[in-house]
């Protein structure tokens, strides 16, 4: 097989957050528009793309593991091209090729969408591109994920520089898509039959395009498109405004789910993390959300073992979690990311203690999640059917307005439909429901 065999097919593996999923969909659409065919199995692809994440070391290790497999496979198929794009490409640049010479192209976070050009003609000229700056942000067209759901990125990068976080370094300064562009992307998806769109940004609440802030943007999307269900992700407690709560209270097409990372219940630790709010401010937002909205599901991110975290700081996190009663939480133990401010702090909580703290926190949240889910029993949730469950073809998996997974007997229910389901039972992570008539 010759080294110069033409590239006809491609495969994309996506790591990390929903913003990467959104970018992979856009990239796949532009490769397809250039005549390349997407294949489900990397073994059938002439171009293998990894859209990567640098938030945790593990995510990077997994990519290196996959690259190791590919180098063996490339020996038999020398024409295959390998591209690493996104956060890891941005962070490592040339070093990535030094460490993994089987990689042909390294395109950083702002260069991802140049892959079709690079593959199409200029092979070898710019194998590594990591300069920041999109020439025209709004040339990036959002593409639906599935026939019924899509993500629309509203801003890229982040200006917050939380001391533990690598994102501002690998994604650059916050830049926003124009409000009209976002409305256009949502309208196009709605016209194509998409029923649920999630607006994405590292901190959606700091969105501002001229005089349009994030609540104004939601209002525009609701008023100027027919999208039945609208979500957003991620919120930042320092920027979530009463105006946002107000529009959520008024607009039933904005799904009643808020993902609001708390990280720690200790003001001292929050300050050291550079989060820009106190636990009391956070509590106040939760009180307002629950007071103004008839129903709201609140999820969070929590981190244990941040440098200098004492037993007392940790107890304050447990106490906050016990009081606030999250519907669900992503929980992590701190690990240093090179290049961040926190890298200079002593990583002084022993690994053994971090593990113990994380275990206890997970146990606590599991019992709270169970209790919160019991409250759903008897409610009717309009749920978007996303496909069959992992375990059985006879069971469908759907997502409630509050972003909870609900399982229901298939019985003719179709993927992509929004159906009323009465919740009949619940465990800590999943609801179980039955189909009822529309109410
Ligand atoms: S808000 Fe903080 S944690 Fe979130 S992406 Fe920005 S720097 Fe990272």
pLDDT tens column, 276-287: 999 999 999 999
pLDDT at residue 298, as a whole number: 98
> Is the model more confident about 438 or about 342?
342
Query: Ligand 1: residues within 6 Å at CB?
Result: 158, 160-162, 165, 167-168, 202-203, 236
Residue 304: band (very low, low, confident or very high) from pLDDT cuts 50, 70, 90? very high
Nearest partner of 367 among 328, 316, 315, judged by Cα: 328
Ligand 1: distance of its center to the CA of 315 in Å?
Answer: 24
Ligand 1: distance of its center to the CA of 273 in Å?
Answer: 10
Helix axes 242-250, 279-292, angle to 10 degrees: 20
Nearest partner of 158 among 141, 144, 175, 146, judged by Cα: 175
Helix axes 214-224, 179-191, angle to 10 degrees: 40
Which ranges in the chain are annotated with CATH 2.40.50.110?
380-435
pLDDT at residue 124, as a whole number: 52
Question: Please, are residues 411 and 421 in contact by the beta-carbon 8 Å criterion?
Answer: no
pLDDT at residue 1, as a whole number: 39
pLDDT at residue 122, as a whole number: 58
pLDDT at residue 24, as a whole number: 95
* Strand ranges of the sheet holding 37-38, from the earlier edge strand across to the other edge: 37-38, 9-14, 47-52, 81-86, 105-107, 128-129
| Cα distances (Å, whole numbers) of residue 230 to 223, 255, 298, 302 | 12, 6, 16, 25
Average pLDDT for residues 158-180, to the nearest whole number? Answer: 95
Choose one of 203, 273, 340 to mutate for the ligand 1 pocket test, by most ligand atoms within 8 angstroms of C-beta: 203
Residue 370: band (very low, low, confident or very high) from pLDDT cuts 50, 70, 90? very high
Choose one of 17, 18, 165, 275 to mutate for the ligand 1 pocket test, by most ligand atoms within 8 angstroms of C-beta: 165
As a whole number of angstroms, the distance between CA 209 and CA 301 comes to 28
Ligand 1: distance of its center to the CA of 297 in Å?
Answer: 22
- 413-432 pLDDT, tens per residue? 999 999 999 999 999 999 99
Average pLDDT for residues 187-214, to the nearest whole number? Answer: 97
Average pLDDT for residues 167-191, to the nearest whole number? Answer: 96
| b/e map 49-58, b = 16+ CB within 10 Å | bbbbbbbeee
Q: Which CATH number fits domain 9-129: 3.30.200.210, 3.30.70.1400, 3.40.50.12160, 3.30.56.10?
A: 3.40.50.12160
- 308-351 pLDDT, tens per residue? 999 999 999 999 999 999 999 999 999 999 999 999 999 999 99
Ligand 1: distance of its center to the CA of 407 in Å?
Answer: 33
Ligand 1: distance of its center to the CA of 291 in Å?
Answer: 27
Which ranges in the chain are annotated with CATH 3.40.50.12160?
9-129
As a whole number of angstroms, the distance between CA 160 and CA 329 comes to 22
- Ligand 1, atom 2, residue with closest C-alpha: 162
- 74-121 pLDDT, tens per residue? 888 889 999 999 999 999 999 999 999 999 999 999 999 999 988 887
Q: Indicate the pairing of strand 9-14 with strand 47-52.
A: parallel
Fold of 380-435: OB fold (Dihydrolipoamide Acetyltransferase, E2P) (2.40.50)
CB neighbourhood size of 226 (10 A): 11
pLDDT at residue 127, as a whole number: 85
- The number of the ligand 1 atom at minimal distance from the alpha carbon of 202 is 5
Which ranges in the chain are annotated with CATH 3.80.30.20?
137-374
- The number of the ligand 1 atom at minimal distance from the alpha carbon of 274 is 2
Number of helices (H), then strands (E), in the chain:
13, 21
- The number of the ligand 1 atom at minimal distance from the alpha carbon of 165 is 8
| Cα distances (Å, whole numbers) of residue 32 to 35, 100, 306 | 5, 27, 44
Fold of 137-374: pyruvate-formate lyase- activating enzyme (3.80.30)
User: 């124009």: which residue's tokens?
Assistant: 178
- The number of the ligand 1 atom at minimal distance from the alpha carbon of 263 is 3
pLDDT at residue 2, as a whole number: 43
pLDDT at 125 over 80: no
- Ligand 1, atom 1, residue with closest C-alpha: 160
Ligand 1: distance of its center to the CA of 255 in Å?
Answer: 23
pLDDT at 4 over 60: no
| List of residues 6+ apart from 215 with CB closer than 8 A | 241, 243, 244, 246, 247
pLDDT at 175 over 60: yes
pLDDT at 155 over 60: yes
| b/e map 319-334, b = 16+ CB within 10 Å | ebbeebebbbbebbbb
Ligand 1: distance of its center to the CA of 158 in Å?
Answer: 6
Question: What is the residue-wise DSSP string for 337-372?
Answer: -TTSGGGGS---S-HHHHHHHHHHHHHHHHHHHHHH
Q: What angle do CA 196, 198, 204 make, to 5 degrees?
A: 155
- 19-50 pLDDT, tens per residue? 999 999 999 999 999 999 999 999 999 999 99
Mean pLDDT of the chain: 94
């Amino acid at each position: 097989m010759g080294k110069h065999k033409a590239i006809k097919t491609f495969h994309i593996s996506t790591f990390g957050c929903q913003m990467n999923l959104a970018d992979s969909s856009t990239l796949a659409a532009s490769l397809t528009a250039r005549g390349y065919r997407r294949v489900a199995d990397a073994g059938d692809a002439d171009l293998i793309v990894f859209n990567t994440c640098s938030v945790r070391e593990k995510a990077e290790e997994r990519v290196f593991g996959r690259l190791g497999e590919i180098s063996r496979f490339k020996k038999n198929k020398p024409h295959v091209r390998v591209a690493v794009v996104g956060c890891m490409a941005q962070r490592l640049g040339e070093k990535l090729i030094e460490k993994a010479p089987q990689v042909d192209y390294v395109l950083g976070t702002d260069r991802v969408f140049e892959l079709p050009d690079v593959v199409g003609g200029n092979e070898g000229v710019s194998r590594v591109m990591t300069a920041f700056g999109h020439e025209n942000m709004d040339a990036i067209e959002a593409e639906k994920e599935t026939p019924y759901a899509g993500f629309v990125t509203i801003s890229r990068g982040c200006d917050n520089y939380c001391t533990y976080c690598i994102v501002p370094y690998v994604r650059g300064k916050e830049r926003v898509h124009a409000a009209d562009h976002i409305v256009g992307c949502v309208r196009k998806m709605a016209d194509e039959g998409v029923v649920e769109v999630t607006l994405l940004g590292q901190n959606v609440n700091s969105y501002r395009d001229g005089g349009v802030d994030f609540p104004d943007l939601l209002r525009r999307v609701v008023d100027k498109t027919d999208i039945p269900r609208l979500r957003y992700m991620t919120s930042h407690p320092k920027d979530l405004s009463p105006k946002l709560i107000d529009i959520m209270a008024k607009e039933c097409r904005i799904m009643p789910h808020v993902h609001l990372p708390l990280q720690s219940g200790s003001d001292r630790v929050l300050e050291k993390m550079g989060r820009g709010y106190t636990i009391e401010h956070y509590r106040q937002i939760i009180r307002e959300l629950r007071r103004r909205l008839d129903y709201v599901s609140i999820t969070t991110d929590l981190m244990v073992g941040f440098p200098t975290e004492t037993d007392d700081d940790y107890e304050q996190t447990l106490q906050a979690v016990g009081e606030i009663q999250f519907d669900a939480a992503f929980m992590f133990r701190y690990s240093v990311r090179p290049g961040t401010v926190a890298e200079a702090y002593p990583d002084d909580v022993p690994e053994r203690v971090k593990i113990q703290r994380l275990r206890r926190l997970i146990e606590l949240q599991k019992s709270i999640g169970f209790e919160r889910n019991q409250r759903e029993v008897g409610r009717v949730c309009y749920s978007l059917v996303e496909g069959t469950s992992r375990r059985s073809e006879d069971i469908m998996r759907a997502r409630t307005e509050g972003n909870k997974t609900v399982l229901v007997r298939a019985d003719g229910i179709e993927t992509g439909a929004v159906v009323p389901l009465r919740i009949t039972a619940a465990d800590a992570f999943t609801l179980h429901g039955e189909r009822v008539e529309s109410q």
